[in-house]
Amino acid sequence: MTAADLAEHASPPHRACTQLMVSGLSDDTVSRFALGLDERPLLLTADDMAAELNDQFAVRLLRAGIFPNTAGEVLQALAQVNPGGPLSKQLFFLLGEGSQVPADAGPVQRNMRFLIMCGAGQEGPDVVVSSFHPDQGMVELAAWDAAKGGFNFYRTMPDSNAWVFAGNSRHALVPPTRGQGPFESHVNGNMLMKELKKPWVNWDSPFAHIPASALAAQGLDSHPWVGRLDPGGAYTLEDTGIRPAIQRWTAARVAAIEAGIGAGTGSETPVRMLEQLVSTLTINLASSRSSSAPRLPTDPGLNTPIDLPSTFFVDADTLEMLGLPTPDPLGVAPTIYNQILSELEVRLVDGASFEVAGDTKFAFVVPERSFEDVSTLTAAKGVLVTARLLACLLMVDFPNPVFSDRRSALLGHFEAVSWNGSPDTFSNAVADAINSSPAASTTGSPEAEFSANWAAGEGFVAAFTPRLESYYKKVAEQLSTIDGFRDVYRLAESRRAHVKLMPIFETPLLFSVCNLPPERLRMTESATVEELS
Amino acid sequence: VTTPHMTMVSGVPFDRFDAPASLTELPHAALASYSSMMADHAAQFALSFDRYFDPLAPGSREARLVQIVWAASPARLASLSDRDRWQQADATRDEQDEYCEWTIARQPDGKLTRVTFTTEVPDYWSHIADADPDLLLDLYHRVVSPDVTIDDLFRDMAYQRNNKWNNATSEGIAHLRQANNTLLAAIDLAATATVQRVGPDGRRIEDRRQLVVCGQLGDSSRNSDPQIADAVNDAVFAGSAVSLANPLGLYLDGIQTPSFVAPDGADVATLWTVERGDPGHAVRARFEVPEGAGYVLGDLTVDGRPLEFGTQVADKVRVRIDALLAPSTTQLVTKQCEALPPSRFAPS
């Protein structure tokens, strides 16, 4: 598989966030520059802002004539306008893809940055700031807009204290702003945290704190925010920040559809949510909880299997939500894992001079279905679509929970199905659209696979359970042999190659690399790995 | 202005060890003897480990408070499926080995109604038993049951930590009782972890699993031991001496509630009530829906799943120990770990 091959499967051409950097904007102003919609920054008047910007950052600062220039000034201003209130509760987090590499390993591109969460209530933060230093002028900021729902995305400009409003989460969902600017990576308008499950390879957390030597190597040992890092790190951020924020936006999306906003007019419909099920617009990264470092001969757990994320093998989180069985914990013997690392010359590189043998700090980092997808489908189930439809779509090519060409091929059949307020009617219409397609009568086609699934009727759990359980048994058998795990590792590399074409791939240290040639692979229901034609 | 000849923590003199959470129930003499016992421990560990300091020892030093936190649910069970893990950890407090234990209550139909957490150290309760048995009985009456008798708590004049009101499967809970969950064990871990471990190639061990196994710093599969050991070891390497803060203890650092959903949309954070200590130093708390709400704990969901087990709550409860870091120029103490293969980060 070449990069060009993979690019065919990536997002359409887009205008990246870097295009938001414009010079010459006047101080103390706010402009809207929603790429795809605006050709140039549009200066917002007070009335424009009142109509469009109703998040805490805009209401309390920008609309009140306060224009902070640096990240430190933003945080200070938020605390000053809300003394003792939610905005003055500011939690600091640190991440970096090379953050866990010890200092004596030599120079390495650690890509360290801070994320600051302000006003974290039960539904997540009001304002999230991403920056490297309090004095840094290049600030990216997202703030929840309670009036229209969704996050407003902002950034500062390089040569003034002007702010640019780059769009609201709703812009992410529809053309011409879909995939543009911040929505290149915030594809569905959501907060991003690549790893939304412990042990969080790249975050400071109770599972792996960033060593003092790494901080010192980056000159961060006396950084004013290091002493303020939340002791729970990613454990706090995930549970109290990002997951609730994602669920908040998801709830707003569902509520908007239920309320009939934009129904059938090209604005969001449940089809956009089903697209998240059949396609892979976003991913999260999962890993083993086991360190990839060699175990000592005296380790009581010397031969304890290295656990592998079940979501690599099947869409476990969505299956569970639908009442379908998930695998028992899966793992590989350390001897097999280490043999494959050695055979495939697995190593970490930073794209510059750094290179060491071995895997990421926690073993086997792979893409999984994103939490925002799971959250969206959970919220849609029974309200917008039936569990039966979700299950029947999900069970098409189920051994490939992400980057499934077979499942995404179904989207074209139901993109035009409109929403009339009934989950049953809508779901039946989607099923009819697929079942009535000519391809549904072609043996082996994804449409035929869906039709067979749909024929299970409301008894889909009983029908799908034996297929899943048989598959899980075969996966466990594969993992018990060197050849089987080699194939699994090849499949992992194939999926990582997809991620490397996504905007969230910002540094080579996100994954380990190896000597395998590029391949496009898929898992079969018999748990064998085969090349895609 | 003269600098006091003592340890200062954020400008506050460190002049004594209080009871955990600065609880005030001990009579003056009993509190003094408890404080003295903790001071002896600190002095003893400081004598044994060059980079563990006695905060009461003479000498001017400015120490910084550092909080070390971890999740309350046992990581040792992480290889099980979630449901098996929740069942197993709820079934016996022998499994609850993260310096936090809990007990659950259900209504007749099996629905969960209350989860009570404790980080109260048995060291403190044993001291109460020795110093003031009447107070001990009174505490049991207050936090466990009015039916507790003094004979239930003592055998041959010795306090029984695993008495029938505080054993592995009892419905009540007074304090920690799992074998590893003691304050002395935590102090010992923090002190021992100050020693730097190096491989045969002379390179410092940074992988926490290797560190814990090599240094025999508890159980590498727990949340707590590796986290405490790693944080302490790294701080020492970075130039600090370490001690533990007053009041010495293990604390409930709170509960992360956004992933819980109540049937009426209530703020789930309000279901967490600190019963002993204060919000900054909680040692006992319950998670329970107040009477009259029209539903019980088992009607909530967490992470989209029905709330059926206490361990699901424990997954969201944070446990904490407070360390002190003071600048140190004392030479690092290192010990070699013979069995370690060469570091992959060594220059080739």
Q: Report the pLDDT value the prediction gives residue A2, as an integer from 0 to 100.
A: 35
Q: Confidence class of residue B1 from pLDDT cuts 50, 70 and 90?
A: very low
Both tokens of B267, joined, read 């703020």
Can you say whether the dihedral through the CA atoms of B235, B240, B243, B245 is positive or negative? negative
SS3 content of chain B, % helix, strand, coil (to 5): 30, 25, 45
Per the CB < 8 Å rule, is A296 touching B71? no
Nearest C-alpha of chain B: how many angstroms from A498? 28
Per the CB < 8 Å rule, is B320 touching A231? yes
Using an 8 Å CB-CB cutoff, list chain A residues near B344: 293, 356-358
Both tokens of A510, joined, read 């996100």
Which of B214, B318, B344 is opposite residue A296, by nearest beta carbon? B214
> What is the mean predicted confidence (pLDDT) over B47-58?
96
Residue recorded with tokens 């749909």: A454
Tell me the pLDDT tens digit for each residue of B255-275.
999 999 999 999 999 999 999
Per the CB < 8 Å rule, is A239 touching B203? no
Neighbours of A40 (CB within 10 A): 7
Beta strand pairing status for B101-106 and B12-13?
unpaired
Nearest C-alpha of chain A: how many angstroms from B333? 17
Residue of A nearest to B240 (CA): A212
- Given a cut of 60, is residue B228 above it in pLDDT? yes
Count residue pairs from A and B with Cβ separation < 8 A: 113
Q: Confidence class of residue A222 from pLDDT cuts 50, 70 and 90?
A: confident
Q: Report the pLDDT value the prediction gives residue A14, as an integer from 0 to 100.
A: 46
B306 alpha-carbon distance from chain centroid: 28
CA angle B11–B17–B19, rounded 5-degree value? 120
Nearest C-alpha of chain B: how many angstroms from A293? 7
Contact A223, A133 (CB under 8 A): yes
Cα(A428)–Cα(A389) distance, integer angstroms: 8
Both tokens of B199, joined, read 């491989």
Contact B169, B91 (CB under 8 A): yes
Find all residues with CB under 8 Å of B179, minimum gap 6, and list them.
B94
End-to-end CA distance of chain B: 55
Q: Confidence class of residue A8 from pLDDT cuts 50, 70 and 90?
A: very low
Using an 8 Å CB-CB cutoff, list chain A residues near B337: 296
Per the CB < 8 Å rule, is B210 touching A293? yes
* 3-class state of residue A84 by DSSP: coil
> Minimal CA–CA distance to B103: which of B180, B183, B160, B167?
B167
Nearest C-alpha of chain B: how many angstroms from A181? 30
Residue of A nearest to B346 (CA): A105
Can you say whether the dihedral through the CA atoms of A177, A180, A182, A188 is positive or negative? positive
Residue of A nearest to B253 (CA): A232
Q: Confidence class of residue A138 from pLDDT cuts 50, 70 and 90?
A: confident
Q: Report the pLDDT value the prediction gives residue A266, as an integer from 0 to 100.
A: 45
Residue of B nearest to A376 (CA): B304
**CB-based contact, A107 to chain B, within 8 Å:** no
Q: Confidence class of residue A187 from pLDDT cuts 50, 70 and 90?
A: very high
Nearest C-alpha of chain A: how many angstroms from B31? 31
- Given a cut of 90, is residue B348 above it in pLDDT? no
Q: Report the pLDDT value the prediction gives residue B169, as an integer from 0 to 100.
A: 82
Residues of chain A with pLDDT > 70, as a percent, come to 95
| Phi (first) and psi of residue A318, to 5 degrees | -75, -35
> What is the mean predicted confidence (pLDDT) over A88-112?
90
Mean pLDDT, chain A, rounded, equals 92
Cα(B47)–Cα(B58) distance, integer angstroms: 14
Cis peptide before B327 (omega within 30 of 0): no
> Minimal CA–CA distance to A125: which of A151, A106, A99, A95?
A151
Per the CB < 8 Å rule, is B344 touching A244? no
Cis peptide before A175 (omega within 30 of 0): no
Tell the burial category of B19 from Cβ atoms under 10 Å away from its Cβ (0-12, 13-18, 19+). buried
Nearest C-alpha of chain A: how many angstroms from B199? 11
Cα(B53)–Cα(B46) distance, integer angstroms: 5
Contact B180, B97 (CB under 8 A): yes
A residues 321-360 lying closer than 8 A (beta carbon) to B: 321, 326, 328-329, 331, 356-358
Cα(B81)–Cα(A455) distance, integer angstroms: 31
* ipTM score: 0.92
Per the CB < 8 Å rule, is B210 touching A295? yes
- Given a cut of 70, is residue B344 above it in pLDDT? no
Cis peptide before B247 (omega within 30 of 0): yes
Which residue pairs from A247-251 have beta carbons closer than 8 angstroms and sit at least 24 positions apart in sequence? Answer: A247/A123, A247/A124, A247/A375, A247/A379, A248/A123, A248/A124, A248/A144, A249/A149, A249/A150, A249/A151, A249/A169, A249/A189, A249/A190, A249/A191, A250/A372, A250/A375, A250/A376, A250/A378, A250/A379, A251/A379
Q: Report the pLDDT value the prediction gives residue B345, as an integer from 0 to 100.
A: 63
Q: Among the listed ranges A181-190, A264-273, B235-244, which one has the minimum average pLDDT value?
A: A264-273
- Given a cut of 90, is residue A4 above it in pLDDT? no
Tell me the pLDDT tens digit for each residue of A291-326.
999 899 889 999 999 999 999 999 999 999 999 999
* 3-class state of residue B285 by DSSP: strand
Q: Among the listed ranges A30-34, A130-134, B52-56, B269-273, which one has the minimum average pLDDT value?
A: A130-134
* 3-class state of residue A357 by DSSP: strand
- Given a cut of 50, is residue A356 above it in pLDDT? yes
> What is the mean predicted confidence (pLDDT) over A327-352?
96
Which of A206, A221, A356 is opposite residue B227, by nearest beta carbon? A206
Which residue pairs from A257-262 have beta carbons closer than 8 angstroms and sit at least 24 positions apart in sequence? Answer: A257/A384, A257/A419, A258/A383, A258/A384, A258/A421, A260/A421
> What is the mean predicted confidence (pLDDT) over A30-56?
96
Q: Report the pLDDT value the prediction gives residue A15, as an integer from 0 to 100.
A: 56
Sequential DSSP letters for B155-206: ETTEE-TT-TTSSTT-S---S--STT--HHHHHHHHHHTTSEEE-TTSPBP-
* 3-class state of residue A42 by DSSP: strand
Q: Report the pLDDT value the prediction gives residue A93, as an integer from 0 to 100.
A: 97
Contact A160, A31 (CB under 8 A): no
Sequential DSSP letters for A123-168: TB-SEEEEES-TT-S--EEEEEBTTT-SEEEEEE-TTSS-EEEEEE
Which of B67, B339, B344 is opposite residue A231, by nearest beta carbon? B67
Using an 8 Å CB-CB cutoff, list chain A residues near B231: 209
Neighbours of B162 (CB within 10 A): 15
Per the CB < 8 Å rule, is A307 touching B231? no
Nearest C-alpha of chain B: how many angstroms from A66? 31
Tell me the pLDDT tens digit for each residue of A446-496.
999 999 999 999 999 999 999 999 999 999 999 999 999 999 999 999 999
Q: Confidence class of residue A263 from pLDDT cuts 50, 70 and 90?
A: very low
Residues across chain A: 533
> Minimal CA–CA distance to A88: which of A102, A74, A98, A100?
A74
Q: Half-sphere exposure (CA, 13 Å, Cβ side) for A183?
A: 29
Q: Report the pLDDT value the prediction gives residue B41, as an integer from 0 to 100.
A: 96
> Minimal CA–CA distance to B234: which of A362, A300, A100, A223?
A100
Using an 8 Å CB-CB cutoff, list chain B residues near A321: 304
Can you say whether the dihedral through the CA atoms of B268, B274, B280, B281 is positive or negative? negative
Cα(A362)–Cα(A66) distance, integer angstroms: 44
Neighbours of B11 (CB within 10 A): 6
Contact A177, A20 (CB under 8 A): no
End-to-end CA distance of chain A: 10
Using an 8 Å CB-CB cutoff, list chain A residues near B208: 208, 291
Q: Report the pLDDT value the prediction gives residue A132, as an integer from 0 to 100.
A: 87
Per the CB < 8 Å rule, is A291 touching B221? no
Per the CB < 8 Å rule, is B238 touching A221? yes
Nearest C-alpha of chain A: how many angstroms from B258? 5
Residues of chain A with pLDDT > 90, as a percent, come to 81
Cα(A233)–Cα(B68) distance, integer angstroms: 11
pTM above 0.90, yes or no: yes
Tell me the pLDDT tens digit for each residue of B295-315.
999 999 998 889 999 999 999
* 3-class state of residue B278 by DSSP: strand
Preferred mutation among B99, B198, B213 to probe A, highest tally of A CBs within 10 A: B213
Using an 8 Å CB-CB cutoff, list chain A residues near B204: 102, 104
Q: Confidence class of residue A5 from pLDDT cuts 50, 70 and 90?
A: very low
Cα(B221)–Cα(B218) distance, integer angstroms: 9
Per the CB < 8 Å rule, is A298 touching B339? yes
> What is the mean predicted confidence (pLDDT) over A216-236?
91
Per the CB < 8 Å rule, is B345 touching A221? no
Using an 8 Å CB-CB cutoff, list chain A residues near B269: 122
Using an 8 Å CB-CB cutoff, list chain A residues near B245: none
Both tokens of B138, joined, read 């009174």
Instruction: Write the DSSP symbol of residue B96.
Output: -
Q: Confidence class of residue B340 from pLDDT cuts 50, 70 and 90?
A: low
Contact B140, B107 (CB under 8 A): no
Q: Report the pLDDT value the prediction gives residue A16, as an integer from 0 to 100.
A: 61
Both tokens of A27, joined, read 């101080």
Nearest C-alpha of chain B: how many angstroms from A421? 24
Q: Report the pLDDT value the prediction gives residue A232, as an integer from 0 to 100.
A: 95
HEC letters along B213-236 = HHHCCCCCCCCHHHHHHHHHHHHH
> What is the mean predicted confidence (pLDDT) over A359-376?
97
Sequential DSSP letters for B245-277: PSSPS-EEEEE--TTEE-TT---GGGGEEEEEE
Mean pLDDT, chain B, rounded, equals 94
Nearest C-alpha of chain B: how many angstroms from A123? 6
> What is the mean predicted confidence (pLDDT) over A62-72?
95
Cα(A414)–Cα(A396) distance, integer angstroms: 15
Instruction: Write the DSSP symbol of residue B52.
Output: B
A residues 173-212 lying closer than 8 A (beta carbon) to B: 206-209, 211-212
Tell me the pLDDT tens digit for each residue of B288-298.
999 999 999 99
B35 alpha-carbon distance from chain centroid: 19
Which of B81, B213, B316 is opposite residue A298, by nearest beta carbon? B213
